[in-house]
């Protein structure tokens, strides 16, 4: 007989086994066995590290950095990190990787990185050889850039071998509700050097101006896949947009390799300008995507209608091109005849079998208004947030029963319930046999959010949670105090169910103040002791005494002491707690009057009972445990 041992397995087979194990388990289980496995792990295996858990504790993250990344950093090819519920997480990672002189890191995906950490990243030698840099869910301070294109230019200058780049940074040319003059926009613009974009073939950027886009297309001659957003005017005030200067079409040879184009236009001015600029390349596209938010009327010179989209976009594409649409159009003074809504029903692209186009009128919650909103989108719908305003009985009628709901919304991970427009819709979600309920990809959902004004009974909430059994995050916006109180009072046992299923509880409630914060936390612990993330806002009380308290020196000390006591209570009682986020506001939503240095001093003088990282950037306090 031939005896075999695990050690005799081919390296390729061993690597296949590693693909099913976490990095920590691989290192702990195989590294100590013998020199063969030690050499394989440290010198032969190419690591693809994914730390995307939304709630990784400080101790586990530290263990991963110290015992894994520091050991195998030279062999890491791709690294995906979720930093949204982490404080200075990239600093911990980079300090563990800097010990290795030779690095193979080529692909970096960061979720939720802050502005400070991203600026440090740009000066790090760890990223010099990257082929792919992807950012998602970036910090608000990082998302809105003061100088248009500054970060893109820095990234291209630092990463000269970059092939794929996603930087969702925005630049809004609006100050005090008015459009900034184009000359001022140009003064605040930096474009990448064309010599630094030689290898760049896929680029995704956030909201910018048409001036920036005009310059950018001259700097990316080898681009294949381009995705951008444009906003040139205020989305809520377009009455003065009857005069729109359209840029000339670019020379198609500037983008001779372009085959995929995604446009996110935040108003009709941006739409017309973007289409005019890029009209010469539409006939070479294999894939086209359009997101459009616009306000229009029948009398508009620059109208947004079904005929507009057909003529300016669809008609210019090749017959074999694939396109996706996600349009939200507010129509003024057309409620009786609905000419614009009907125009979408009659255009050729709406009558095709593929892609199937869904056209829905949103209910008008202002009874005295002559306006309405229509939503037009193709299926499959590829956005991550599934709003109830997309669901309708018309959608269920046009979709064959053979179509799986996961195929309709393949990337949806959040169900967003909106109240003012779709009350009839979400009442049917609890009915398993309802046509609307059958459209929802329940197994994919990990988060449920309740918008302002949603009226949902605890019975409906519990049934929804039972169907969405993978949901771990519950976000209740302000205006839903009755729902949050029902949960905390455990009406019909809904609090017990949520305690067993939900890990992250996010609450916006105007009635939470410094005076009742401790009582709220006590009730929250009694009802939901298993929470791993707690996020809520504290507002100044409408009581005059509390408003005065927050503004005097002695009041600052008392308010700070109350905040410190709330933090200590949460950390001491919620044993599974990983992350705490507290936003401090007054009634006018301006910066809190609780000084940051006082809060930091209180936390330093009275340290928490568990290892932690503390961060306070007004108005937000964050604690990572």
Whether residue 445 has pLDDT greater than 90: yes
Q: Which has more pLDDT, 237 or 179?
A: 179
Q: Dig out the tokens for 540 from the structure.
A: 């100044």
> What 8-state DSSP symbol labels residue 42?
I
Percent of the chain with pLDDT over 70: 85
Cα–Cα distance, 361 to 337 (Å, whole number): 13
Model pLDDT, residue 430: 64
In a shared domain, residues 461 and 595: yes
Mean pLDDT of 322-343: 91
Residue with tokens 């300090």: 95
Cα–Cα distance, 225 to 219 (Å, whole number): 14
Segment 519-559, tens digit of pLDDT: 999 999 999 999 999 999 888 654 544 444 445 445 557 77
Does residue 29 fall inside a structural domain? no
Model pLDDT, residue 53: 82
Return the bridge partners of 448, or none.
415, 474
CA neighbor of 70 nearest in space, from 56, 49, 87: 49
Does residue 222 fall inside a structural domain? yes
Model pLDDT, residue 431: 66
Q: Which has more pLDDT, 488 or 285?
A: 285
Rg from Cα positions in the chain: 27
Q: Which has more pLDDT, 36 or 93?
A: 93
How sure is the predictor about 600, in pLDDT bands with cuts at 50, 70 and 90?
Answer: confident
Mean pLDDT of 475-479: 84
Segment 260-308, tens digit of pLDDT: 999 999 999 999 999 999 999 999 999 999 999 999 988 888 899 999 9
Model pLDDT, residue 589: 37
Residue 287's φ and ψ, nearest 5 degrees, are -135, 135
Least confident range from 174-183, 295-304, 323-332, 597-606: namely 174-183
Cα–Cα distance, 542 to 621 (Å, whole number): 22
Least confident range from 148-157, 371-380, 452-461, 550-559: namely 550-559
Does residue 187 fall inside a structural domain? yes
Model pLDDT, residue 554: 52
Does residue 423 fall inside a structural domain? yes
In a shared domain, residues 586 and 520: yes
In a shared domain, residues 145 and 113: yes
Out of 71-80, 143-152, 196-205, 473-482, give the one with best mean pLDDT: 196-205
Q: Which has more pLDDT, 596 or 220?
A: 220
CA neighbor of 175 nearest in space, from 119, 233, 220: 233
User: Is the link from the previous residue into 619 a cis peptide, with omega within 30 of 0?
Assistant: yes
In a shared domain, residues 323 and 177: no
Q: Dig out the tokens for 465 from the structure.
A: 């949670």
Does residue 248 fall inside a structural domain? no
- Asked whether the CA dihedral 201, 204, 210, 212 is positive or negative, the reply is negative
In a shared domain, residues 479 and 497: yes
Does residue 122 fall inside a structural domain? yes
CA neighbor of 41 nearest in space, from 63, 73, 64: 73
In a shared domain, residues 317 and 285: yes
How sure is the predictor about 1, in pLDDT bands with cuts at 50, 70 and 90?
Answer: very low
Q: What is the mean pLDDT of the chain?
A: 84
Least confident range from 178-192, 313-327, 365-379: namely 178-192
How sure is the predictor about 407, in pLDDT bands with cuts at 50, 70 and 90?
Answer: confident
Q: Please name the residue ranges forming H helices in 76-175.
A: 89-97, 115-122, 140-143, 150-158
Model pLDDT, residue 485: 86
Model pLDDT, residue 595: 61
In a shared domain, residues 154 and 262: no
Does residue 65 fall inside a structural domain? yes
Write out the residue range of the structural domain in which residue 490 sits. Answer: 406-624
Whether residue 472 has pLDDT greater than 90: yes
Percent of the chain with pLDDT over 90: 40
User: Is the link from the previous residue into 355 a cis peptide, with omega within 30 of 0?
Assistant: yes
In a shared domain, residues 420 and 321: no
User: Is the link from the previous residue into 380 a cis peptide, with omega within 30 of 0?
Assistant: yes
| Total Cβ atoms within 10 A of residue 135 | 25
Structurally, the chain folds into a number of domains equal to 3
Cα–Cα distance, 330 to 440 (Å, whole number): 25
Using alpha carbons only, what angle is made at residue 397 by residues 392 and 401, rounded to the nearest 5 degrees?
Answer: 115
Does residue 90 fall inside a structural domain? yes
How sure is the predictor about 34, in pLDDT bands with cuts at 50, 70 and 90?
Answer: confident
Mean pLDDT of 154-176: 85
Model pLDDT, residue 433: 67
CATH at residue 496: 3.80.10.10
In a shared domain, residues 135 and 265: no
Reported as half-sphere exposure (CB side, CA atoms, 13 A), residue 518 has a value of 11
Least confident range from 137-141, 297-301, 426-430, 536-540: namely 426-430
In a shared domain, residues 185 and 316: no
In a shared domain, residues 416 and 328: no
In a shared domain, residues 144 and 269: no
CA neighbor of 414 nearest in space, from 501, 473, 481, 457: 473
CATH at residue 163: 3.80.10
> In terms of DSSP bridges, do strands 287-297 and 260-265 run parallel, antiparallel, or are they unpaired?
parallel
């Amino acid at each position: 007989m031939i005896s075999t041992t695990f050690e005799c397995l081919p390296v390729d087979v061993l690597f296949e086994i590693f693909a099913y194990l976490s990095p920590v388990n691989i290192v702990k289980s195989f590294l100590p066995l013998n020199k063969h496995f030690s050499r394989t792990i440290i010198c032969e295996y190419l690591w693809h590290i994914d730390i995307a858990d939304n709630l990784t504790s400080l101790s586990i993250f530290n263990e991963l950095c110290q015992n894994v990344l520091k050991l195998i950093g030279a062999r890491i090819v791709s690294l995906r990190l979720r930093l949204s519920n982490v404080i200075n997480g990239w600093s911990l990672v980079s300090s563990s990787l800097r010990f290795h002189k030779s690095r193979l890191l080529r692909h970096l995906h960061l979720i939720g990185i802050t502005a400070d950490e991203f600026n440090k990243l740009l000066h790090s030698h760890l990223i010099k050889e990257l082929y792919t840099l992807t950012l998602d869910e970036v910090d608000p301070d990082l998302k809105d850039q003061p100088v248009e294109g500054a970060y893109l230019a820095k990234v291209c200058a630092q990463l000269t071998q970059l092939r794929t780049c996603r930087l969702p940074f925005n630049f809004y040319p609006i100050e005090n509700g008015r459009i900034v003059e184009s000359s001022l926009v140009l003064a605040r613009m930096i474009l990448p050097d064309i010599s630094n974009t030689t290898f760049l073939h896929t680029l995704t950027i956030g909201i910018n101006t048409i001036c920036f886009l005009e310059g950018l297309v001259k700097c990316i001659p080898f681009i294949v896949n381009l995705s951008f957003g444009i906003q040139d005017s205020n989305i809520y005030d377009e009455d003065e947009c009857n005069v729109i200067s359209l840029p000339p079409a670019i020379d198609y040879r500037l983008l001779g390799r372009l085959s995929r184009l995604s446009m996110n236009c935040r108003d009709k001015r941006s739409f017309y300008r973007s289409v005019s600029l890029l009209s010469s390349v539409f006939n070479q596209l294999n894939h086209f995507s359009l997101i459009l938010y616009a306000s229009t009327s029948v009398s508009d010179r620059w109208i947004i209608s079904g005929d507009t989209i057909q003529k300016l976009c669809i008609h210019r594409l090749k017959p074999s091109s694939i396109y996706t649409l996600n349009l939200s159009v507010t129509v003024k003074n057309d409620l009786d005849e609905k000419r614009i809504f009907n125009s979408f029903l009659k255009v050729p692209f709406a009558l095709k079998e593929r892609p199937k186009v869904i056209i829905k009128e949103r209910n008008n919650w202002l009874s005295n208004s002559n306006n309405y909103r229509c939503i037009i989108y193709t299926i499959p719908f590829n956005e991550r947030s599934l709003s109830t305003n997309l669901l309708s009985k018309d959608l269920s009628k046009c979709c064959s029963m053979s179509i799986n709901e996961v195929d309709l919304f393949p990337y949806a991970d959040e169900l967003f319930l909106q109240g003012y427009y779709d009350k009839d819709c979400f009442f049917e979600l609890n009915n398993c046999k309802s046509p609307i309920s059958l459209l929802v990809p329940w197994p994919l959902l990990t988060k449920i959010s309740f918008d302002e004004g949603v009226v949902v009974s605890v019975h409906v909430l519990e049934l929804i949670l039972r169907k969405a059994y993978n949901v771990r995050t519950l976000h209740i916006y302000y205006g839903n105090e009755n729902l949050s109180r029902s949960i905390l009072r455990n009406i019909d046992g809904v609090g017990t169910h949520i305690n067993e299923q939900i890990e992250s509880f996010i609450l916006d409630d105007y009635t939470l103040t410094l005076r009742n914060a401790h009582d709220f936390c006590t009730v929250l612990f009694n009802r939901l002791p298993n929470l791993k993330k707690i996020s809520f806002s504290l507002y100044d009380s409408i009581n005059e005494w509390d408003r005065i308290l927050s503004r005097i020196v002695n009041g600052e000390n008392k308010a700070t002491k109350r905040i410190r006591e709330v933090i200590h209570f949460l950390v001491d009682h919620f044993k599974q707690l990983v992350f705490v986020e507290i936003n401090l506001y007054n009634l006018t939503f301006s910066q809190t009057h609780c000084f940051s240095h006082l809060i930091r001093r209180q936390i330093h003088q009275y340290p928490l009972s568990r290892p932690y990282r503390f961060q306070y950037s007004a108005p937000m306090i964050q604690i990572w445990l």
